[in-house]
Amino acid sequence: MKETEIKSIIDRETYKKVKQSFNWEKVIKQENHYYTDKDGLLREKRIMVRVRVIDDTAKLQVKLHKNSDSPIQICEENQYDIDGVPDKIDEDTAEKISGFKTELYRMGSAVTVRRTINKNGSELCLDKTTYFDKTDYEVEVEYEDKMSADLFMKITELGVKFDKSSIGKFTRFLEEYNKHWVSECVK
């Protein structure tokens, strides 16, 4: 499935303004458990592997990022049924989902509270994500052909800016993971 979205990291005050400005259709809590390989092949090829858990349902998801250096992110995303959250994904499964025959190891997880609403063919997502000892806030607008101009105008009036390259949750998670990994190794 092709996914097109525009996203922006926002501060806590902008998050509150956006949260109060819409009647959200859904509020869900999701856990994203991220995986990597020892040689960094997935990262090099811009492939992200996670197990997403919502309620008691787990899905193995793979995203291949198609572009970079833009607030608009275009990805090829696939998902598979999986039982639970494994610490390791075997070589055969990794090859099936990513094209690389390598074991994948669970790095950790992030918890996101996501609010969503659909407007004129666009889905507005407001996320509050916590990982390690950090919390960040993000607005995403997912769409197929065109983004809703009315929705875009309303969220920009609330202070959301789409003027920078988007940094996804996995990249932000990875930055914190590396900080924690280095600090643990130094101790």
Distances (CA, A) of 120 to 77, 85, 141, 146, 166: 23, 36, 12, 9, 23
pLDDT at 2: 66
Task: Write down the pTM of the prediction.
Answer: 0.87
Distance CA 14, CA 61 (A): 30
Of 27, 15, 1, 18, the C-alpha closest to 152 is 18
pLDDT at 128: 98
Distance CA 116, CA 126 (A): 7
pLDDT at 182: 57
Of 157, 154, 155, 136, the C-alpha closest to 10 is 136
Parts of the chain with a pLDDT under 70: 1-3, 67, 69-72, 181-187
Distance CA 180, CA 101 (A): 28
pLDDT at 101: 93
Of 172, 96, 108, 107, the C-alpha closest to 138 is 172
pLDDT at 187: 45
In the predicted model, what is the mean pLDDT of the chain?
Answer: 89
